[in-house]
Structure 1
């Protein structure tokens, strides 16, 4: 393909009549949406993987006797992240490639359910189980990505709604089905659905001319996909970040972690690099606090050993929350979150670029 790259007569645009060339922006928009969608799914998987690993380390360190270690080994909750993808079309394949290479998720921890598993030979050769059994996939996975067509979603939801656990996170790429409808179809509240908006008249969609994995290894393109950064012609609704961090708290809840322990774990996931405006020891860096997730009325009577509540992620993404208020009004927190995002892809963001990274207010 590289030999043909500069041959104009073989380019996709060559066969399009002049009067129809104005629609080429739709192709770039589609690629931009794919890049951002895969980037954000990758970041979410990395966050969950690292959080589960940290939870396991903390639990192991608290076990001082052989009996306790044996009890921990028999815990039914599996420590490693298990990811399922429902749908083996273009989106499902692209997502699987990105998760395998950039998270990376081990092949044995990724499974794909599709009507045509025989079309996924490239993944089966890597050791990924591909089959057509949506209920089985939903019962096995900790995180399920819905990459199907909107017309297929009602029947798929009927199949899987009684199969997954309460703790399973459903991540929907089906943009045509809103969150309330999805909640009713699945009879489930642990749902995350990113909402994207394409900027009208924006022609230079970021990364539109690159393969997705290559695009996400480009520092400029990656920075443009940052959830706090409305750049590149495709904007992510900032409420997605609410869902991400409340979902992380639900993971802690499922493992029996206390409220203040969960906040400590989230703070440990933040990057260790500090800006010049932070003191050398990082003491002035923004930290997660109780008031960032719970209302004052709810939290005022809580003690340090209080249990975590279970959060309805559908409500979190549809309403104002203490977390979204804090994020929108705290530029320093946005900067650190941008650092966390870029570092998770192995691309540290130079401090001198921090002002560039925030080109506008996050989209609501």
Structure 2
């Protein structure tokens, strides 16, 4: 699915919701008519309505329509909103929670749903005060090399660290999308490899080729041995991915080459050349926050 056809739903029309819409319209390629907002006061969103964004107040209607739903509400409103929308959620819709005060287990409990993503940061007030770069809109920040460097999940010692668990969940969410479209596992891997390891790769210019993903990078070996040529990957519980160790987290921890490739991908996705960061990721250092054990036989973590 391309960005032009992606249907994005946003619950909450406050500061975060508005900033998100502006960033999507200006930077993502998502069309205005493919963005819907649900808020108690849709009349306050006339600037977006004039651009073609549909604004209303019906959280259930929005969730039933969207491919991805962003929760941009206040924490005190979350329980009520979850009770409104959980019966409308259906795979493969992804819920992306920007209500950072509410942890994943609680979100999963409230929504009775597992395809949830939540950004995970490591920072403190002093860290935030010492980060330079653009002060202003989200759009400006996403075009600032200093901010991009500070938030890269492959970074090792920046003041703000987006943990590797978020990055893992993004990859497993991509595999879920492939599974939903009934793509055989090898085709799903081919798509990921094409995105992460370009043919004209500056990192591997002096090598014969870039590394490539294989099945065992995402599922355990027992599951790999059971796959036939036409089998898809299993459906992954994204909350489990973010709370437990997985084959992909082990790969991220051990492969400097992959860390460097994903750093390049992160920078270029924002239009920021890697050299503007001032350095490549340091060898042998990968910022992680993994403290849970892997339970490969668990139903929630099928194949992990």
Q: What TM-score, normalized by structure 1, do the two folds share?
A: 0.74
Q: Is the 8 A contact 2:203 2:260 kept in 1?
A: no
When residues 169 and 352 of structure 1 are mapped into structure 2, their CA distance, relative to the original with a 3 A threshold, is closer
1:85 counterpart residue number? 10
Tell me the alpha carbon deviations over residues 76-120 of structure 1, each in whole angstroms, 9 at most, x when there is no partner: xxx821101101111111111111111121100111111111111
After superposing the two structures, state which structure 1 stretch, 283-292 or 311-320, moved more.
283-292
Name the CA distance, whole Å, in 2 between partners of 1:116 and 1:259: 44
Equivalent in 260, 270, 274 of residue 201 of structure 2: 274
Alpha-carbon distance, 1:146 to partner: 0.4
When residues 131 and 231 of structure 1 are mapped into structure 2, their CA distance, relative to the original with a 3 A threshold, is farther
1:188 counterpart residue number? 113
Match status 1:166 vs 2:87: no
SS at match of 2:122: strand
Name the CA distance, whole Å, in 2 between partners of 1:219 and 1:274: 21
Q: Is the 8 A contact 2:134 2:140 kept in 1?
A: no
2:178 counterpart residue number? 252
Match status 1:238 vs 2:160: no
Q: CA RMSD in A?
A: 2.3
More helix by share: 1
1:304 counterpart residue number? 229
Match status 1:125 vs 2:50: yes
Name the CA distance, whole Å, in 2 between partners of 1:359 and 1:134: 45
Match status 1:175 vs 2:100: yes
1:140 counterpart residue number? 65
Equivalent in 241, 244, 261 of residue 336 of structure 1: 261
Tell me the alpha carbon deviations over residues 266-301 of structure 1, each in whole angstroms, 9 at most, x when there is no partner: 111124442354446xx4312211111001122123
2:288 counterpart residue number? 363
Name the CA distance, whole Å, in 2 between partners of 1:294 and 1:251: 16
When residues 154 and 297 of structure 1 are mapped into structure 2, their CA distance, relative to the original with a 3 A threshold, is same
The higher-RCO structure (CA 8 Å, 6+ apart) is 1
Gaps of 5+ in 1: 1-51, 55-78
Name the CA distance, whole Å, in 2 between partners of 1:278 and 1:290: 26
Match status 1:325 vs 2:259: no
When residues 214 and 239 of structure 1 are mapped into structure 2, their CA distance, relative to the original with a 3 A threshold, is same
Alpha-carbon distance, 1:197 to partner: 2.1
When residues 279 and 301 of structure 1 are mapped into structure 2, their CA distance, relative to the original with a 3 A threshold, is farther
Q: What TM-score, normalized by structure 2, do the two folds share?
A: 0.87
Gaps of 5+ in 2: 290-304
